Amino acid sequence: MQSAIDNVLDIQQIRRDFPILHQEINGRPLVYFDNAATTQKPQSVIDALTRYYEGYNANIHRGIHHLAEQATAAFEDSRRAVQTFLNARHWQEIIFTYGTTDGINLVADSYGRRFLKAGDEIIISTMEHHSNIVPWQMLCEERGCVLRVIPVDENGELILEEYEKLLSEKTKLVSVVHVSNSLGTINPVKTIIDKAHEVGAVVLIDGAQASSHMELDVQALDADFYVFSAHKLYGPTGMGVLYGKKEILDAMPPYRGGGEMIKEVTFEKTTYNDIPYKFEAGTPNIADVVAVKSALEYMADLGKEIIAAHENDLLQYGTEQLNELDGLRIIGQAKHKIGVISFVLEGIHHQDTGVILDQQGIAVRTGHHCTMPLMQRFGIAGTTRASFAVYNTRDEIDRLIVGLKRVQKMML
């Protein structure tokens, strides 16, 4: 079954752009519904990686030979591309990291240890990924800060009234997810940021799940920090971005010590480099940084709004079809969602569901999705999660429904 959006997007051509999709798993054509964990890569991104290693592999910034200059130019072109992607004011506000987790840890380690003290309060939410919980717990243990948590209602939406009650002059930092990786909930981050700023707190937004699905504008959001990972938006693994307001980054101490993040070193004193290089110690992940530009260009060529419309169609269609299955309950019924559907089957463990679907060539994610407190909030051990990307189709959702009926037949 096709949707109206298929007349705008040539889905079959898009699918041809992704080599990995053209294979069989256990004798069945692959259906890849684990996009919230990582997206697949178009040929253009794979080619960008190959071109770097085959054509101009060299270390960056410090070399004066041709290959080094070519690699440096490609590396910094990606920084400018990310600046445009986020609508950051300055290119220096783009810090390359090893992923969302690394970016959050950088802020917790550098900003947290410099500016937070005993008694200061940090606010997160119940739906945070462990990567946006543990670093703040570690900081609280070390500095004597207090961690506060925004509750979630039965629909999987933040209770903003409770958030406002948590805010006070003690609140120094708020760190929340833009989009829940477990539920697909789109949080009202602009409101969250504005309320935090009213009490003088800075705000970090975890954009790992939002980056491939939504238009992003850090200036419009007025976010102090924004983090995401390339592999969630059709780019390579091992590469991420931390955006930070220039004046805040300038005031933060380095995260790691080594080459590149210095201007001058003697045994008596080291002078640190300017941003962004102050936070990019050592040889970076050059090839993957270079390749992320191709991923951003791929999405831009398709159009973020068109991608979002296609994924929303899959979300609506998938929700309707899954709701018709007896014994299936969707966890997370927020009004505003991206293409993520988490569900439980009555009487069937989520791992059994995942194994039987895999036997039919259908890849889903099962478990707590690194959001154990959220699972505890709903009184469950975990869910089965189907998450969609631009290359997915309604026909694949139909296969998921058939697969789930087979799970029920085998297990009940």
Give tens-digit pLDDT for 152-181.
999 999 999 999 999 999 999 999 999 999
How many residues are there in the chain?
412
Q: How far is CA 166 from CA 144, 160, 339, in A?
A: 18, 10, 30
Would you say residue 270 has pLDDT above 90?
A: no
Q: Which CATH class is domain 4-39+304-411?
A: alpha beta
DSSP code for 254: P
Evaluate whether 352 touches 411 at the Cβ level (below 8 Å). Answer: yes
Question: 211-221: per-residue pLDDT in tens?
Answer: 999 999 999 99
Which member of 370, 380, 381, 401 is catalytic? 370
Domain boundaries, the chain: 4-39+304-411, 46-300
Q: What pLDDT score does 412 carry? A: 85
Q: pLDDT confidence of 5, banded at 50, 70, 90? A: low
Beta strands in 151-300 (DSSP E): 171-177, 202-206, 225-229, 240-244, 262-265, 270-272
Residues 334 and 159: their CA atoms lie apart, in Å, by: 12
Is 370 among the catalytic positions? yes
Fold of domain 46-300: Aspartate Aminotransferase; domain 2 (3.40.640)
Evaluate whether 56 touches 71 at the Cβ level (below 8 Å). Answer: yes
Q: What pLDDT score does 266 carry? A: 87
Q: At what angle do helices 66-86 and 286-302 cross, to 10 degrees?
A: 40
Q: pLDDT confidence of 2, banded at 50, 70, 90? A: low
Beta strands in 300-364 (DSSP E): 328-331, 340-345, 362-363
Residues 105 and 75: their CA atoms lie apart, in Å, by: 23
Q: What angle do CA 97, 217, 48 make, to 5 degrees?
A: 45
Q: pLDDT confidence of 396, banded at 50, 70, 90? A: very high
Q: How many CB atoms lie within 10 A of CB 362?
A: 25
- Average pLDDT on 318-337 reads 98
Q: What is the pTM of this model?
A: 0.97
- Average pLDDT on 19-33 reads 97
Q: What pLDDT score does 260 carry? A: 83
Q: What pLDDT score does 264 carry? A: 85
Question: 241-253: per-residue pLDDT in tens?
Answer: 999 999 999 999 9
Would you say residue 145 has pLDDT above 90?
A: yes
Residue 112 structure tokens: 């947290």
- Average pLDDT on 35-57 reads 98
For 199-235, b where at least 16 C-beta lie within 10 A, e where not — what string? eebbbbbbbbbbbbbbebebeebebbbbbbbbbbbbb
Question: 95-140: per-residue pLDDT in tens?
Answer: 999 999 999 999 999 999 999 999 999 999 999 999 999 999 999 9
Nearest Cα to Cα of residue 250 among 224, 227, 285, 268: 224
Q: What pLDDT score does 265 carry? A: 84
Residue 87 structure tokens: 């609508």
Answer left, alpha or beta for residue 257, where phi above 0 means left and psi between -120 and 50 means alpha.
beta
